[in-house]
Chains A and B, each alone.
Chain A
Amino acid sequence: MTTEIFEDAPGPADKNPNQVIQKPAPDAAAKHRWRGEGVVLNVFSHGFLAVWALMVAVPLLWALWSSFKTSGDILSHPWSLPLHPHVDSWSRAWTKAHMSRYFINTVIVVGFSTVGTMLFGSMAAYVLARFEFFGNRFIYFLFVGGMAFPVVMVLVPLFFVTKNLGILNTLPGLILVYIAYSLPFTVFFMTSFFRTLPTSVAEAALVDGASHTRTFFQIMVPMAKPGIISIGIFNVLGQWNQYLLPLVLNQGNTDKWVLTQGLADLSVQQGYQGDWSGLFAGLSIAMLPVLAIYIIFQRQVQAGLTAGAVK
C-alpha cells in the first residue's frame, strides 16, 4: 500500500502531459498514474455511492420500522428503533383501513389487465410485424403515436366515454382502460421483437398445415417469451403503480378502490386522526410486496424496465 502511494505520488512531470512522453516507458507511467488515481477514486466513488445508497434505503427502512412503533413513539423519537415492536398498527391498516380490500382489488385489476395487455398487444404486434396488408403502417403509427401524448389531456373525455359505456367506477372498466393505455408501448416493443424472430419456423408450421392462429399461439408465443416477460414486468409495475386513472375513473365506491387510492386516503385520514403508525403500516403493505418481488427477480425487472429505453 505504502509503496504504491510512493510510486504514484504525482511528481511535477505528471502534471505536464508533454513530459510524460519523454519518459522511457510512457504507457507504463500512464498505467501507474491511472492506478494511483484508482486508489483515490475508489475511496471517493465508494463514498458517494454509499451516501446515495443510504439516501435511498434509509427512508424506506424508516417507514418499515416506524410501522412497528406506537404513534406516540413516532412523534417523540422519529429516529429510534422499535425496541418493543407493536404489530397492531398492521392489523389496523389491514382491516380497519381496508388495505386488504384495496390490495385484493389491485391484484384483480393488475392481473386481468396485464394478461389482457400482453394477449391483445402481442396479437396486434404479431399481425403488424409479420403480415403485409392495406393499412398496416397506419394502424402501427396509430398505436405508437399513443406513446407520445399525455394521458392527463384526455381525462375529461375519457371520464365521459367510460360513463356512457357504463364502466365508470367499475373494476372491469378500469381493466379495459389499463389495457388500452398499455397497448402503445406493448405494441411498439413487441412488433420490433417479432421482427427479430426467424421466419423459417413459422413457415414450416404453416406448410405442415397449422393455421395462422395455431402457429401464433404454439410457435411464435413460446419463441417470443423473453420479450413477453420483459414487457409483462413493465406492464405489471406500471399498472400496479397507476394513480391518475383510478383517481378519476374509480372515485365512486370505496369498496372498489385500488391500493394507491387507499394509501392516498390513509395519508389524508391520518392527518385528522393522528394514527401515524397505521399510516406507516399501510405504506409498508403497499411497499413490501413489490420490493420483495423486485429483490427476487431484480435482474429481469431491471432488464424489463430498461428494455424500452435501449431498444
Chain B
Amino acid sequence: MRHGKYRFIIGFLAIPVALYAVLVISPFVQDFQISLTDWSGLTPEKHYIGLDNYQKIIHNNLFWKALWHNVLMLLIVPIVTLALGLFFAFMLNVGGRRRKGSASVVGVRGAGFYKIVYFFPQVLSVTVIAVLWEQIYNPDPDNGLLNSLLGDVGLTSLQQSWLGDPNIALACIMAVMVWANVGFYVVLFSAGMASIPGEIYEAALLDGANRYVTFFRVTLPLLRDTVATGWVYMGIIAMDGFAFVQLMSVNNGGPSETTDVVPLLLYKTAFRDNSQYGMAAAMGVAMLIVTLLFAVLTLRLNRRERIEF
C-alpha cells in the first residue's frame, strides 16, 4: 500500500512537473541569466556584462515612455471597465420596475439576453477584436465605420484619424480594451449580486434608502471581494496590452511611439531589431518587477475584514 502510493504519486506528477519545469520554470530562471549578458544571438557565446543592460534601459527614454503607457493602461482601463461592469450589472439586477407582490429587488426584463450579448467579445480572440476595430477606426471619412457614422449624423468636425493621431491613439486602444472586457465583469458582478440575500435589500428599502444609496452602502461593500479579484484580473490584462497595440497601432507602437508598451518593446528588441536578447531579457525582468509591485499594492489595499453573508 505505502509503496504503491509513492509509485502512484510519482507516476501522476512526473509528466506535468517535467513539462512545467522545462517550459515554464527553466525559461523563467534563464531570463535573469540572459539579462546579464550581451547576447545578440548572432554569436553562440554570451559575455556576462553585469547590470549593463539594466543601466541602458534606465537611460532609454523609449523604455520609460512605453512603461508610462503600461502604467496608464493599468490605471485607466481597469477603473473604467470595472465601473461600467458594476453599473450595468446593477442596472440588470436591481434596475427593474417593481411589480406588485414580487420581491423588492427586480432585474430588468431581458437581463439574460443582455448578459449573453455583452459577453460576446470575451469569447473572441484579441486578434479578431483588434483587426475589427482597426477597420472601425479606419481614418478614411467614407470608409471607416466610426468616421462615416459621424459624417452621416452631421458631426463631420468630430471625424478623426483615430489610431493615426498621436494625441488620441493610445486612448483609442484603451477604449477597445474596455469594450472587450466589460461583458465579463457584468456577468461576474451579476453572479455576485444574485448571491446577496433579498432580505438585505428589503431592510434597506424599509429604512427608506433609495437605489443609489443601496448601491453604494449595500451592494458595493458586499461585492468587495469580487471587485478586488476583478481588479487583479483586469490589471494583468492591462499590463500586457501586447496584442492590441501590436495589431492596431500604426507602425507597431506608433504614431511616433505614442502607443508603445513594454511587452511590445521587448518583442521588437528581441525578434525584430538586431536580436538584442540580453536587453530584451532585462526588460522582461523589469516587467516582472512592475507586475509584482502591482500585486503587492493590490493586496495591501484590499487587506480588510471580510463580510460574511
Interfacial residues of chain B within 238-255, with CB under 8 A of chain A in the complex: 239-240, 242-243, 247
Scan B102-122; emit 1 where CB is below 8 A from any A CB, else 0. 001010100000111111111
Interface bin, chain B: 35 or more
Check if B267 sits within 8 Å of A248, measured CB to CB: yes
Question: A48: nearest residue on chain B (CB-CB)?
Answer: B91
Instruction: Determine whether B4 belongs to the interface, using a CB cutoff of 8 Å to chain A.
Output: yes
Instruction: Determine whether A92 belongs to the interface, using a CB cutoff of 8 Å to chain B.
Output: no
Give the residues in chain B near A27, CB-CB below 8 Å.
205-206
Give the residues in chain B near A160, CB-CB below 8 Å.
30
Check if B120 sits within 8 Å of A56, measured CB to CB: yes
Scan A108-131; emit 1 where CB is below 8 A from any B CB, else 0. 000000000000110110110001
Question: A186: nearest residue on chain B (CB-CB)?
Answer: B16
Give the residues in chain A near B116, CB-CB below 8 Å.
295, 298
Check if B191 sits within 8 Å of A243, measured CB to CB: no
Give the residues in chain A near B177, CB-CB below 8 Å.
none
Check if A283 sits within 8 Å of B26, measured CB to CB: no
Give the residues in chain B near A228, CB-CB below 8 Å.
none
Give the residues in chain B near A259, CB-CB below 8 Å.
125, 127
> In the docked arrangement, what's the CA distance between A49 and B210, Å?
21
Check if B263 sits within 8 Å of A150, measured CB to CB: yes
Give the residues in chain A near B271, CB-CB below 8 Å.
155, 159, 248, 251
Check if A78 sits within 8 Å of B108, measured CB to CB: no
Interfacial residues of chain B within 1-59, with CB under 8 A of chain A in the complex: 4-6, 8-9, 11-13, 15-17, 19-20, 22-28, 30-31, 34
> In the docked arrangement, what's the CA distance between A39 and B97, Å?
6
Scan A281-298; emit 1 where CB is below 8 A from any B CB, else 0. 001001100110111001
Within the complex, what minimum Cβ distance (angstroms) separates B284 from chain A?
A: 4
> In the docked arrangement, what's the CA distance between A59 and B17, Å?
43
Contacting B108 at CB < 8 Å: which of A49, A211, A248?
A49
Q: Using known A-B contacts A42-B96, A131-B9, A146-B24, determine if residue A152 contacts B19 with beta carbons closer than 8 Å.
A: no
Check if B148 sits within 8 Å of A78, measured CB to CB: yes
> In the docked arrangement, what's the CA distance between A280 and B5, Å?
56
> In the docked arrangement, what's the CA distance between A33 and B182, Å?
31
